[in-house]
Amino acid sequence: MVYSKRLDGRGFDELRPIEAKAGVIKNAEGSAYFRMGKTIAYAAVYGPREMFPKFKQDPKKGVIRCNYNMMPFSGAGERVRPGPSRRSKEISFVTDKALIPTVDLEDFPNAVVDVYIELPQTDAGSRCCGINAAAIALADAGIPMRDIVASVAVGQADNQILVDLTYEEEHLPEYTECESKDVADIPVAIIPSTGQISLLQMDGIIEKDALMKALHKAKEVISKISEVQKNALKEKYAAESIENNE
């Protein structure tokens, strides 16, 4: 069997349905909700505030500190063990690195901006969904930013280049009788205004030419994700403007 039609009926270059909202957590400086298909992420931003412990302070600028967490029954696969894990620490680290190029914290020496990302439901692409939510939340908090990072997973399954993989596609040999057993999952974060890649990871094996095609497809759909992010912020502030004028 050749993977000629996606399991959920989408085109190979098509994103899952996406939705975003800003300002969803009242007690946070900034917050956001982002959904990609069945994967849902909430992000809350607190700060800038004094960094503790003090030995981690940077006297020249503030820093971002991300915390990624999947809730125990959020996964499409096995139950997630509560508390920090090797995977959550790794994703927290790469999320931090993906966001840093767009954030300007030079006016906040010795300070930290804490970004908490919680996923109550996941169906692949959780780190990408979390980055998308975190970028909106940072903008909602009024953190100085050069642009809003957008993220999506691309990859290859049964020699097909795919955009925005689902859990079933990440584990395609378990769900179909495809000829190829190799699946490559490639989370990417991109700064829309420059095309700069701020996150590039890969799980699986892929040839160089196929990788370049996958990255090209990622850049093609990033503008759609970015538009949803910006619209979420515009809708929030438009609603606040109406409330203030009433």
Q: 33 φ, ψ to 5°?
A: -120, 135
pTM, full prediction? 0.93
Number of H helices, E strands in the chain: 5, 9
Residue 76 carries which DSSP code? S
The span from the CA of 39 to the CA of 14, in Å, is: 16
Rounded to an integer, what is the distance from CA 227 to the centroid of its chain?
15
Domains for the chain: give ranges and CATH numbers: 18-245 (3.30.230.70)
Q: 142 φ, ψ to 5°?
A: 80, 20
The span from the CA of 187 to the CA of 158, in Å, is: 18
pLDDT (tens, 9 = 90+) of the chain, 246 residues, equals 577 788 899 999 999 999 999 999 999 999 999 999 999 999 999 999 999 999 999 999 999 999 999 988 876 666 667 667 888 999 999 999 999 999 999 999 999 999 999 999 999 999 999 999 999 999 999 999 999 999 999 999 888 999 999 988 888 766 555 555 678 999 999 999 999 999 999 998 899 999 999 999 999 999 999 999 999 999 998 887 777 776
Paired with 46 in beta bridges are: 114
Locate all alpha helices (DSSP H) within the chain, ordered by sequence: 86-99, 126-140, 167-170, 172-175, 208-245
